[in-house]
Amino acid sequence: MLLPDYLSLNILKAILVLSVTWILLYIWKKFQNLPPGPWGIPYFGYYPFLTTQSHVDFARLAKKYGDVFSFRSAGGKLFVILNGQKDIKEVLVHRSDEFIGRPIESNLLEWISDGLGVTQEEGQPWKEHRRYFLQTVKNFGFGKLEIEGTIHEEIKILKDDLLKAQGEPTDIGFHVTYAVNSVIVQVMFARKFEKYGSVFPKLAKAAHDLIAVFADQRFMLVGLPFRLSLQYLPWGKDVREGRMVLKTVVQEIIEDHIRSFDPSNIRDYVDSYLLEMENLKEKGELEKSSFTSENFCFEIHQPIFLTASKTMKKLT
């Protein structure tokens, strides 16, 4: 039986009102326990309102919403930002077990490392690799007095290079990055890159291109928006090339160490990792462990990138 037109219209209105009410209640319930924060626009969230100086944006938002606030980025991805030292310490120290997980969707750091290495792992693999890394580099003098000689030598080289400029403007970031990187590289690889050779300038540029993304609003892209922007936006080309440079350098270092590996003469972290894999293989435990060839590559890859990028970020 057909309903009169006025009844059909009233039913349609009622369904529409109920639907809108349900949607609003759903949104309110979903957001009611989140920290306060700015509203964005559908799908793009607050991302269009962020600038290339995201740290300045966050400081401004903290003044309005407090030291803990939230917003949604492109694709509706939720970000919760901590500004105060007290809140950061509470999350990273006192409640670290609750916040130790890594993002499961595509993001810049995950893409650079293929989701591997100590900066991207979680759970037992993370504990194993972190413990192994810290203990091994300590055995090679890192954090001890033994490494002071290497540090003093790099400081002397840094001072001499700055004096050569004779007061002329110079890129101090490049020189300081080289000094810090040289100390780490000598512990990790028992070698030293030439400052103006074929490798280090490429590494410095790669780190610069990658850290530029970490430092601005592009780091707020995750999932599909990140993958699309990486593929089709102009900055994606520099980032892809930077990643390839890092992987190529690391692969060459590993292959060189494999060719010259001597279990009775452990020269550096790479040799130590190779020995650990060999010992696990002899015990029949290698396949069950987190010490894989893939992880190995990014365990080596990350110290190069992080030392260069963090130093450059502090100087820019």
| 120-139 confidence digits (pLDDT tens) | 666 677 777 788 888 888 88
CATH number of 123-313: 1.10.630.10
Domain limits, CATH 1.10.630.10, in the chain: 123-313
pLDDT score recorded for residue 261: 92
Q: How confident is the model at residue 304 (pLDDT cuts 50, 70, 90)?
A: low
For residue 254, which of 193, 207, 183, 189 has the smallest C-alpha distance?
189
- Hey, what long-range contacts does 256-265 have (CB within 8 A, 24 or more apart)? 257/189
pLDDT at res. 156: 94
Using the Cα atoms of residue 33, residue 35, residue 38 and residue 42 in order, give the sign of their dihedral: negative
Residue 254 tokens read as 């590993």
- What is the rounded CA–CA span in Å between residue 209 and residue 189? 24
Task: State the Cα–Cα distance between residues 229 and 81, nearest whole angstrom.
Answer: 23
- Sign, CA dihedral 276-277-278-279, equals positive
β-pairing, 68-72 vs 78-82, is antiparallel
State the residue for tokens 């002071």.
Answer: 148
Q: Do the beta carbons of residue 40 and residue 49 sit within 8 Å?
A: yes
Model pLDDT, residue 155: 92
Given a cut of 70, is residue 159 above it in pLDDT? yes
pLDDT value at 8 more than 70: no
Tokens 């999350």 locate to 91
Average pLDDT over residues 71-80: 84
Neighbours of 224 (CB within 10 A): 13
The pLDDT of 2-9, averaged and rounded, is: 54
Q: Which residues contact 45 (CB under 8 A, 6 or more apart)?
A: 71, 72, 73, 74, 75, 76, 77
Say yes or no to pLDDT of 205 above 70: yes
Instruction: Give the residue from 37, 29, 107 showing the smallest Cα distance to 75.
Output: 107
pLDDT averaged over every residue in the chain: 79
pTM of the model: 0.70
Alpha-carbon gap, residue 15 to 6, rounded angstroms = 14
Mean pLDDT of 144-150: 81
The residue among 14 and 31 whose pLDDT is bigger is 14
Residue 162 in 3-state DSSP? helix
Of the listed ranges 94-98, 118-122, 234-238, the least confidently predicted one is: 118-122
Q: Please report the beta strands in the chain, taking only residues with DSSP state E, as ranges in sequence order.
A: 68-72, 78-82
Range scoring the smallest mean pLDDT among 21-30, 61-70, 159-168, 190-199: 21-30
Distances (CA, A) of 227 to 75, 175, 197, 232: 12, 34, 33, 9
Q: What digits encode the pLDDT tens for the residues 21-57?
A: 766 655 555 666 788 999 888 888 888 888 888 888 8
Burial of residue 32 (CB within 10 Å: 0-12, 13-18, 19+) is exposed
pLDDT score of 306 = 61
